């Protein structure tokens, strides 16, 4: 049995984490032993390793915050979920491990026939995309949204969810090689960030959309990338930031705030959990789980790794040249 453990935090995330052997503790009343099926590496996981995330677990810790597993063994007093049942893991359990122990009552059963790799990503990225499209601006079919980091996990979900609602998306990426893949999965417009052929991003957005009003911008990058999104937004628009992939503070020209009256908001899923009612949470996750289970909501996967290769997996996940999510999986699911 292996788990990806870190004793310290540091600027190079792959340097602080390693796969170590362990023996699971004896199961207590109400506990089950789980076998990992799949668990993604999210940007928040990388920031947790570097010490830059908003919530940091006490050390030593096991990496990973979401995933899907199979029930392997019951502890005393447990009869469900059944052995062999696929379940959604509790958030923050430390999911980068071949095996883990959890309270049976904390597990959400899933259909055994679902794609475990796709379902492993349901907890963080899909609700982030879903809620940013619905919580800040009252968008109607035909409205436009602009986002950067459009090839990220959240970005790909946002494209699909927007299309289901009849919304149109402008998707900003860092390199030309990402344009065709995003267009093939339903993006309406894909543009490379910055100045291209002497023309600013805002100028090219205006041309591509026919000068359409854009009232919602979604920023995962920070730095000057935030400013370029702000320039492309319409008067009275809202700009939502949910990440800082650049590692830099968000920059926005005073004129965008003063004369265009653009409002800047932040989104953090952990905070939403603290304020949303159980009924609202059930509504959101019920919708998303159904879409993933039926194959209507699919995220691109760049690569899969076993727990033994956690250092390489984190290196790739933290790098910039990816075309999808890096996912830790059971050996029989390696691609």
Instruction: Sketch the domain layout of the chain as residue ranges.
Output: 2-121+299-333, 125-270
- CA distances (Å), origin 317, targets 152, 298, 310, 325: 11, 19, 10, 7
| CATH code of the region 125-270 | 3.40.50.720
Contact between 215 and 238 (Cβ < 8 Å): yes
Segments in 77-178 forming alpha helices (H):
116-119, 125-134, 153-164
Residue 34 has pLDDT above 90, yes or no: yes
What's the CA angle centered on 29, arms 26 and 34, to 5 degrees? Answer: 60
Please give the helix or strand (H or E) that residue 46 lies within, else none: helix 43-50
Mean pLDDT computed over 125-149: 97
Name the most confidently modeled range: 24-28, 34-38, 275-279: 34-38
Q: Which CATH architecture has domain 2-121+299-333?
A: Alpha-Beta Complex (3.90)
pLDDT-derived band of residue 22, with 50, 70 and 90 as boundaries?
Answer: very high
Mean pLDDT calculated for residue range 131-139? 97
Kindly tell me the burial class for residue 189, based on how many C-beta atoms sit within 10 Å of its own C-beta (0-12, 13-18, 19 or more).
buried
On the CB side of 131, CA atoms within 13 Å amount to 23
Instruction: With cut-offs at 50, 70 and 90, classify the pLDDT of residue 247.
Output: confident
- Confidence category of residue 172, pLDDT binned at 50, 70, 90: very high
Quote the CA–CA distance of 103 and 105 in Å, as a whole number.
Answer: 5
Measured distance CA(269)–CA(257) in Å, rounded: 25
Residue 6 a catalytic site member:
no
Pairing of strands 238-241, 263-266: parallel
Distance from C-alpha of 108 to C-alpha of 35, rounded to nearest angstrom: 15
Residue 206 has pLDDT above 90, yes or no: yes
Mean pLDDT of the chain: 94
The pLDDT of residue 127 is 96
Residue 76 banded pLDDT, cuts 50, 70, 90: very high
DSSP line for 228-271 = HHHHHSPTT-EEEE---TTSS-----HHHHHTS--EEEE--HHH
Active-site residue (options: 53, 130, 157, 242): 53
- Looking at residue 27, the DSSP 8-state letter turns out to be P
- Predicted pLDDT at 173: 96
pLDDT at 126 over 80: yes
Are 30 and 77 in contact by the 8 Å Cβ rule? The answer is: yes
């Amino acid at each position: 049995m292996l788990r990806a453990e870190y004793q310290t935090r540091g600027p190079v995330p792959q340097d602080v984490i390693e796969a170590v052997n362990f023996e699971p503790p004896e199961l207590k009343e109400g506990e089950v032993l789980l076998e990992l099926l799949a668990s993604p590496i999210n940007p928040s996981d990388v920031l947790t390793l570097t010490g830059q995330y908003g919530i940091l677990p006490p050390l030593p810790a096991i990496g990973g915050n979401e995933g899907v597993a199979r029930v392997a063994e019951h502890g005393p007093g447990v009869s469900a979920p059944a052995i062999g049942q696929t379940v959604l893991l509790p958030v923050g359990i430390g999911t980068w491990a071949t095996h883990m122990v959890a309270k049976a009552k904390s597990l959400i059963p899933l259909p055994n026939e679902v794609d475990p790799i796709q379902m492993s990503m349901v907890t963080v990225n899909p609700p982030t995309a879903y809620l940013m499209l619905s919580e800040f601006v009252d968008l109607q079919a035909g409205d436009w949204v602009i986002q950067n980091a459009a090839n990220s996990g959240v970005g790909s979900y946002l494209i699909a969810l927007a299309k289901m609602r009849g919304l149109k998306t402008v998707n900003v990426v860092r390199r030309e090689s990402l344009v065709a893949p995003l267009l093939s999965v339903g993006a309406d417009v894909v543009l490379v960030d910055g100045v291209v052929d002497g023309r600013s991003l805002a100028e090219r957005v205006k041309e591509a959309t026919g000068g359409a009003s854009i009232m919602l911008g979604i920023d995962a990058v920070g730095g000057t990338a935030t400013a370029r999104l702000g320039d492309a937004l319409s008067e009275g628009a809202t700009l939502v930031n949910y990440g800082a992939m650049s590692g830099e503070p968000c920059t926005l020209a005073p004129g965008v705030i003063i004369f265009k009256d653009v409002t800047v908001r932040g989104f953090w899923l952990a905070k939403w959990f603290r304020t949303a009612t159980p009924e609202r949470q059930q509504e959101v996750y019920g919708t998303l789980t159904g879409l993933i289970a039926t194959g209507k909501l699919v995220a691109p996967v760049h690569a899969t790794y076993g727990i033994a290769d956690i250092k390489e997996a984190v290196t790739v996940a933290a790098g910039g040249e990816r075309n999808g999510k890096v996912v830790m999986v059971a050996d029989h699911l390696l691609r």
